[in-house]
Amino acid sequence: METSSKDPAYNGGPLSVRQVTVEGNTVGSLSDEQRSLIVGTLLGDGAMRCKVNALIEINHSAEQKAYVDWKHQLLAELVGTPPKPRSGNGRRVAYRFTTLSRPELTPYFRAFYPNGKKSCPTSR
């Protein structure tokens, strides 16, 4: 279910995953593929941060470079720098990127981090 102009405006309260979805693909909005990628990432081990607007971090092992590159390609218009390797704990090497802080990502942060701690939104 997608929201429409008949739905009430977001008032800062908790959102369900369904309510995060918006219609269209105008400038500043996300495509269906981008929304699906973001929700899927957050349902997994993806992470977001937010000050004024939110960003999402894509972080996988270096062995999953092709997967990270695919995600980067899908989110390229939201990203300022390409993916790069990063040394982690022990011998683990991660391959990662973060998006820019963007207003169109902030509703996802509010839905998945309602109290500052990640949780799975409920559908209504």
Q: What is the pLDDT of residue 114?
A: 92
Mean pLDDT confidence for 57-75: 96
pLDDT at 118 over 90: yes
Maximum CA extent, the chain: 53
Cα dihedral sign for 31, 32, 33, 35? positive
Q: What's the pLDDT tens digit per position in 2-59?
A: 333 333 333 344 444 444 444 444 446 899 999 999 999 999 989 999 999 999 999 9
The pLDDT of residue 8 is 36
pTM (2 d.p.): 0.74
Indicate the domain borders of the chain.
Answer: 17-112
CATH 3.50.50.60, applies to 17-112: no
